[in-house]
Amino acid sequence: MSTGARRLSGLQIQVLKLYREIIRAARDKDTEVKTTVLSYARAEFEKNLTIDRKNTLKIEHLLRRGAKQLQTLQSPDFVGVNFR
């Protein structure tokens, strides 16, 4: 694996943790909801791939936003994501 030995910064670990939690939360949903949620999450993360590593302000803002969306995702009343 090429990504095996690199040292990840604290922020990078947090970002990966968030992504993992989203996948875990989406696992228990219905198949079509699950696929939309996963594609939405992937699109959102990929949109922000180009942020500067040092731009902690923006990264933390996005992490907080993601954590809140994760909370909505984890609630039992969650129905789906509507996005283009």
Partner 1 sequence: HSEISRTRRSCNNSIPLISSLEESNSLEEYTYISMQALRNIRGPITAALRGVREPVATVEAPRVFSAAANAPKPVKMMDFQVYRWNPDSEDKPSMKTYQVDVNACGPMFLDVLFKIKDEQDSSLTFRRSCREGICGSCSMNINGQNTLACLCKIDKDAPSAMIAPLPHMHVVKDLVVDMSNFYAQYKSIKPWLQTSADPKGKEHFQTKEDRALIDGLYECILCACCSTSCPSYWWNTDKYLGPAVLLQAYRWVIDSRDENTNERLAELDDPFKLYRCHTIMNCSKVCPKGLNPGKSVAKLKQKLLH
In the complex, which residues of this chain contact partner 1 (CB under 8 A)?
Answer: 55, 57-58, 61-62, 64, 68
**Distance, CA of 29 to CA of 37 (rounded, Å):** 9
> Please, what is the minimum distance in Å from the beta carbon of residue 54 to partner 1?
12
| Cβ proximity of 18 and 67 under 8 Å | yes
Supply the minimum distance, in Å, between the C-beta of residue 34 and partner 1. Answer: 26
9/55 with CB nearer partner 1: 55
Residues 6+ apart with CB under 8 A from 36: 80, 81, 83
Residue nearer to partner 1 on the CB measure, 35 or 71:
71
